[in-house]
Structure 1
Amino acid sequence: MILFIGDLMTSGSGAEFLAGALLLLGGAIFEVCAVALSFIDLTEHRLPNRILYPWAGVTTGILVLVALLLGDLPGLLRGVAAGLLWGFVFLLVRLVHPPSIGMGDVKLAVVLGLYTGFLGWVTVAAAVVLSFVLAGVVAIILLITRQADRRTRIAFGPFLIIGTALALIGS
């Protein structure tokens, strides 16, 4: 993502520069929302709609503008599809086994899917895998050190956010 934004902003095209600036704005919004949601999830085990819904709306708006500026309708459609797919899979998990994942995580997955899907399916897959691997490693460490047992609730939102951030940075 960093190289992509750099290429856009140094291309010499006004439209590409503006698209790069919008993506930088989207990244800044990602950071602010990610930090706030992570702290809330770690302390309260919830991801509030008052942050998630505006974040989803602003992200969608930014990606629509970027897609128009770059003529990248497939990227926008892929982002929407990735968000809906990731959210749908999480919703299915929630419906099958409610204690395993919260509705906040379902909604967060939609927002993160928008970001990653815009860049491509490889980025989506990387974000999902990194999120689960990071959560798994931390869970194992907590179990080994007896700081948690199999009934301990572990906030998943921060892992979704960190895994997605790493995937976006690596793209």
Structure 2
Amino acid sequence: MIPFIGDLITSGAAAEVLAGMVLLLGGMVFAVCAIALSFIDLTEHRLPNRILYPWAAVTAGMLLVVSVLLGDIPGLLRGIGAGLLWGVLFLIARLAHPPSIGMGDVKLAVVLGLYTGFLGWATVAAAVLLSFLLAGAVALVLLLTRQADRRTRLPFGPFLILGTAIAMIAA
């Protein structure tokens, strides 16, 4: 994502420069919301709607503007599709086994799907995989060091955010 933004900003074409600036702003919004939500989830085990809903709206608007500027409507549709897919899969998991995933995680998955889907399906897959691998690794360490047992609840939001951030940076 970083090289992509750099290429847009240095392209010299007005639409591409503006799209790069909008994506840069979107990255800043991602960072602020991600940090706030991670701290809240780590301390309170919840992801508040007062952050998630505005973040989703800003992200969707930003991707709409960038898609129009770049003439990349398929990227916008892919982002929407990925957000819906990731959200529906998490909702199914939530309905099947409520203690496993919170509704905040379901809504967060939609926002993260918007970002990663815009970049491509490989980025979506990498974000999901990295999120689960990171959570599993931390859970394993906590179990091995006896700082947790199999009933300990870990907030999943920070792992979703970190896995997505890594996937987007690598894209």
Q: Same fold (TM over 0.5)?
A: yes
| Equivalent position amino acid for 2:156 in 1 | F
The size of the alignment, in residue pairs, is 171
Q: CA deviation at 1:88?
A: 0.2
Q: CA deviation at 1:133?
A: 0.2
SS state at 1:155 partner? coil
**Aligned residue in 1 for 2:166:** 166
Q: CA deviation at 1:43?
A: 0.3
SS state at 1:98 partner? coil
- Which consecutive unaligned segments of at least 5 residues does structure 1 have? none
**Aligned residue in 2 for 1:116:** 116
SS state at 1:152 partner? coil
Q: Distance in 2 between matches of 1:133 and 1:162?
A: 11
Which contiguous aligned blocks of 4+ residues in structure 1 show a shift greater than 6 angstroms?
A: none
**Aligned residue in 1 for 2:38:** 38
Q: Distance in 1 between matches of 2:11 and 2:17?
A: 7
Q: Distance in 2 between matches of 1:134 and 1:17?
A: 35
- Which consecutive unaligned segments of at least 5 residues does structure 2 have? none
| Structural mapping, 1:129-168, within 5 Å | 129-168=129-168
Q: Distance in 2 between matches of 1:44 and 1:6?
A: 37
Q: Distance in 1 between matches of 2:163 and 2:116?
A: 11
**Aligned residue in 2 for 1:53:** 53
Q: CA deviation at 1:46?
A: 0.2
Q: CA deviation at 1:119?
A: 0.4
Root-mean-square deviation (Å): 0.3
| Equivalent position amino acid for 2:80 in 1 | V
| Equivalent position amino acid for 1:169 in 2 | I
Q: Distance in 1 between matches of 2:34 and 2:11?
A: 30
